[in-house]
Amino acid sequence: MTTIERIHARYVYDSRGNPTVEVDLTTNLGTFRSIVPSGASTGSNEAVELKDGDKSKWEGKGVLQAVENVNEILGPELIKSEISVTKQKQVDDFLKKLDGTANKIKLGANAILGVSMAVCKAGAAELKLPLYEHIAQLAGDEAAIKNKKYVLPVPFLNVLNGGVHAGGKLAFQEFMIAPIGASSFREGLRYATEVYHTLKKLAQSKYGQGAGNVGDEGGVAPDVDTAEEALDLIYEAIKKCGYEGKVCIGMDAASSEFHKVAKQYDLDFKSPEHNKILSGEQLGELYVELLQKYPIVLLEDPFAEDDWDSWKHFYNVTYKKLDQNVEIVTDDLTVTNTKLLQNAIQERVGNSLLLKVNQIGTVSESIDAANMAFKNDWSVFVSHRSGETEDTFIADLTVGLKAGHLKSGAPARSERLAKYNQLLRIEEQIGDDGVYAGRDFGRAKKL
């Protein structure tokens, strides 16, 4: 049995220039590295990303304590335990026990996740498996393991940024394109890059050269005021490229960011005028209008994390007005947490889980959340964070879980492309044993 020889953490920088945790785990087979991402639009129930709070350094965003917790506590104790790197759940349970809190506030979810992901990579090497195949085994996907059949996901690329990810007045945070009509991941990514470059040129021609500047996740950020303006621009780019019907649209409203008291939503929250205040029910009607007008196949976080009434009314009443199937994705509401997910399933508020590994803080808990979603006929949508790194773990995770779709930003900025490029490699490696999710992205687990 391969044992862990050394675990060492350091701070490196994420895509926003803020410190984050990097972990190197060494066995006799080599060194396995992980880097932890960080979110800007975060749910209040997420596992705690431990920050130093020292305003004299990095504006309080340092992670020196999290790094120390790996080097002085998590690493030494895990090595002493002699748990095999192939025993992911046992390792993760051990790490959680060392922390001893429900939200990982003592040692930090960023410290724990860094070790957890590095262990997963080392476990794959120990078993002589590609990372995605090791994850499939951890998830208990016997069919994929036996038949060696894997699903390449549809990339949902955030090509136009608003909300807290960009300037301008646009309240909604992300507008994504999804090449569901392609025949392969490789072809789909090509479609997406062509639409992206066309969109950038259109934005510059209509809103000036500055409209080609990009937000946190690589999408353009023109100074548009409404969702309709943004969607018109994207739809025009799709049609100009000749991909109408082949490339569709996804939206992440990130509505917790503009939710006000008494279940009201301020679509003008970035302006001093605040002239666009809607009730949850009115906001739901606006979504239906957009879903009927544009080829939107996915809507994420349409309501705030604590506005359960609006979620339930929309999914069980307003949403029923649609004659098309649209994924209603929960993010801030469920934060990759099985307890919150179970409640969301029982309350019937959506049909898809957004999975972010750093929301919960370990690989095995992320897998547990995905399996719970699948068991209840929900889909799983794997996601990056706005503060990303060059780590490609979530690409393998998406394939290993047969999640069928993932978002990792626009095709611009290497920390986003790293995931898409890894999927190109995986597709090449899998060959004929892989199938592209395409229009079945929401039911990929059953392919």
pTM of the model: 0.95
- 217 in active site: yes
pLDDT at 133 over 80: yes
* 21 or 260, greater pLDDT: 21
Residue % of the chain over a pLDDT of 70: 96
pLDDT at 249: 98
Q: Which domains does the chain have, with CATH numbers?
A: 4-128 (3.30.390.10), 143-446 (3.20.20.120)
Asked if the model's pLDDT at residue 361 lies above 70, the reply is yes
Whether 89 is catalytic: no
pLDDT of the residue at 316: 93
145 confidence band (pLDDT: 50, 70, 90)? low
How sure is the predictor about 323, in pLDDT bands with cuts at 50, 70 and 90? confident
Annotated binding site for substrate: 165, 174, 300, 331, 383-386, 407
pLDDT of residue 326: 94
Residue scoring higher pLDDT (432 or 355):
355
Binding residues: 165, 174, 252, 300, 331, 383-386, 407
Res. 272 pLDDT band, cuts 50 70 90: confident
Structure tokens at 394: 């979530």
Give the H/E segment covering residue 34: strand 30-35
- Please, are residues 123 and 85 in contact by the beta-carbon 8 Å criterion? yes
Asked whether the predicted pLDDT for residue 215 surpasses 90, the reply is no
Q: How confident is the model at residue 143 (pLDDT cuts 50, 70, 90)?
A: low
Which of 46, 126, 217, 327 is flagged as catalytic?
217
Query: Which residue matches tokens 């934005």?
Result: 203
Query: pLDDT tens across 382-401, in order?
Result: 999 989 999 999 999 999 99
Instruction: Give the residue numbers of the binding site for Mg(2+).
Output: 252, 300, 331
**Among 340, 292, 145, which Cα is nearest to 353's?**
340
| Choice between 320 and 272, residue whose per-residue pLDDT is larger | 320
Residues 6+ apart with CB under 8 A from 268: 169, 171, 274, 275, 276, 277
Torsion of CA 304, 349, 342, 330, to 10 degrees: -50
Q: Which of 104, 121, 263, 356 is catalytic?
A: 356
pLDDT in tens, 49-68: 999 999 999 999 999 999 99
Which range among 78-82, 230-234, 272-276 shows the weakest confidence by mean pLDDT? Answer: 272-276
pLDDT of residue 262: 74
Phi and psi at residue 329, to the nearest 5°: -100, 130
